[in-house]
Amino acid sequence: MSSTVDLKQIGRLIDVSAVRTDVTIDEIDKMVEVAKKFDCICAFAMPSFTDYLIEQLKANEVSNTFVGGVVGFPSGADTTEIKVLAAKQLLEKGCSELDMVVNVGALKSNRDQTFKDDIKAVVEAAGNTPVKTILEISYLTDDEIKRGSTLAVEAGASFVKTGTGWGPKPTTVEVIKLIKSTIGDSAKIKAAGGVRDLDTLLAMVEEGCSRFGIGIRSAISIFEEAYRREGIELTISDENTSETDRY
């Protein structure tokens, strides 16, 4: 499946993350190791650990992996002012991308202007830094996904992202198809939440998804499978990662 993907370069599609409530320093260290080994395009920690993540990437000479920051995570219900402040602080720390949870309640309440203005304020604060808007599709109908995707693009989002990974339902290939049919090439698509095997990732690439937010445990499994298909046996210890994988 998917002749368009070089499995040995699959890290360039993956934002590896450690963004659960119970993430430890050990897990962030493991994320740095994985990011270096597989040349992941971006790495995310919760804001309180972002400085540490940046320091460790530098200390381990991980030069090709950006650091991303999460804004309004995971509920999206912060005030716009707080989101803007968080965005500015994360940029000052050295983040090269921002993943922002949208105001889900505003979208579901048909308060489209409020929803759009919230995104636009963060996009403007970010300047030239890409902003990925997290729709949290677990809580949305298909019509709300389409409307939210359209509004996010109109507000200047660089990516429409499916979820935080904290929601009750996984992202599916059908969701990627729905978003792609709605926004076309006007923004990129990032899948997160439930992408836990290589075949799912490749199927989503075929439908127009160009980035994936994947927690450490699932990322390790995907990398092992990708290399195995290339005839390279690879086993990575994940003893420092917790049982529940999110994002």
- Helix 142-154 vs helix 173-183: angle between axes, to the nearest 10 degrees? 50
Whether residue 240 is contained in a domain is answered as no
Q: Domain range holding 28?
A: 7-229
Q: What is the pLDDT of residues 86-109, one digit of tens each?
A: 999 999 999 999 999 999 999 999
Q: Which of 99, 118, 120, 132 is catalytic?
A: 99
Top pLDDT among 22 and 234 is at 22
Work out the average pLDDT over 99-127: 98
Q: What is the pLDDT of residues 181-222, one digit of tens each?
A: 999 999 999 999 989 999 999 999 999 999 999 999 899 999
User: How far is CA 60 from each of CA 29, 138, 214, rounded to the nearest angstrom?
Assistant: 10, 36, 21
Residues in a beta bridge with 57 = none
190 in active site: yes
Q: In sequence order, which residues have a C-beta less than 8 Å from that of residue 241 and are 6 or more positions away?
A: 27, 30, 216, 217, 220
Whether residue 247 is contained in a domain is answered as no
Q: Which of 116, 120, 161, 245 is catalytic?
A: 161
Tell me which residue has tokens 């996904």.
Answer: 145
- pLDDT above 60: residue 180: yes
How many structural domains is the chain composed of? 1
Alpha carbons within 13 angstroms on the beta-carbon side of residue 75 total 6
Mean pLDDT in the chain? Answer: 93
- pLDDT above 60: residue 137: yes
pLDDT at 186: 98
Whether residue 2 is contained in a domain is answered as no
pLDDT at 242: 45
As a whole number of Å, the end-to-end CA separation of the chain is 24
pTM metric for this prediction = 0.93
Residues in the chain: 247
Whether residue 237 is contained in a domain is answered as no
Whether residue 243 is contained in a domain is answered as no
Contact 193, 163 (CB under 8 A): yes
22 in active site: no
Q: How confident is the model at residue 66 (pLDDT cuts 50, 70, 90)?
A: very high
Cα separation, 173 vs 195, whole angstroms: 10
By mean pLDDT, which of 2-6, 111-115, 181-185 is the weakest?
2-6
Whether residue 235 is contained in a domain is answered as no
Neighbours of 96 (CB within 10 A): 14
Top pLDDT among 245 and 172 is at 172
161 in active site: yes
Whether residue 217 is contained in a domain is answered as yes
Cα separation, 177 vs 200, whole angstroms: 13
The CATH number of the domain holding residue 98 is: 3.20.20.70
* In the chain, % of residues over pLDDT 70: 94
Q: How confident is the model at residue 246 (pLDDT cuts 50, 70, 90)?
A: very low
Whether residue 246 is contained in a domain is answered as no
Q: Which of 36, 83, 120, 190 is catalytic?
A: 190
